[in-house]
Structure 1
């Protein structure tokens, strides 16, 4: 959980906030009127976030979809709901 602080207070306590992030491992969210404006995170956290952003979205989706196992009772479900056809991917006979 991140520590939240209003922008007016953050201005006065910037050095302390930096120390909390760097040495305390905290994340600080600076707010204005109760709404988040910016976050102070360590350089290591930022690097991890950047690496996550570099992974193509398509690969994440494919990985997620391929991790879903097929139900063994598909033919039973087809009979139950009267499904006469099924989708097969390209190159599947």
Structure 2
């Protein structure tokens, strides 16, 4: 299971996030402005990813694609004072596989 969290919230909850990854078997994607920045994975997951580079690349792309389609909870947006949400060029929160995201 993948859990998405804004970087500002991740700073405050780092110990809890580490426990979710290590003991709960979760993967945590830390975002900034709704865009994935980094992922927290267990050491065992990292070892598997490093030993299977081609499979790992496909899994990461698949995971990030699914993360891009997740929207934040309305209460969370209000909690952090977020007035707008990036939805991509097509309004779906993701990037078309044939396009390059604009920075």
- TM over 0.5: same fold? yes
The number of residues matched between the two structures is: 55
Q: Structure 1 residues 6 and 51, CA, compared in 2 at 3 Å: closer, same or farther?
A: same
- Deviation digits for residues 14-69 of structure 1 (CA, Å, limit 9, x no counterpart): 000000000000000000000000000000000000001289xxxxxxxxxxxxxx
In the alignment, which residue of structure 2 is the partner of 1:38? 38
Unaligned ranges ≥5, structure 2:
56-103
TM-score by length of 1: 0.56
In the alignment, which residue of structure 1 is the partner of 2:2? 2
In the alignment, which residue of structure 2 is the partner of 1:53? 53
- Runs of 4+ in structure 1 displaced over 2 angstroms? none
TM-score by length of 2: 0.51
Q: Structure 1 residues 54 and 33, CA, compared in 2 at 3 Å: closer, same or farther?
A: closer
Unaligned ranges ≥5, structure 1:
56-93
Larger radius of gyration: 1
Matched residue of 1:8: which SS?
helix
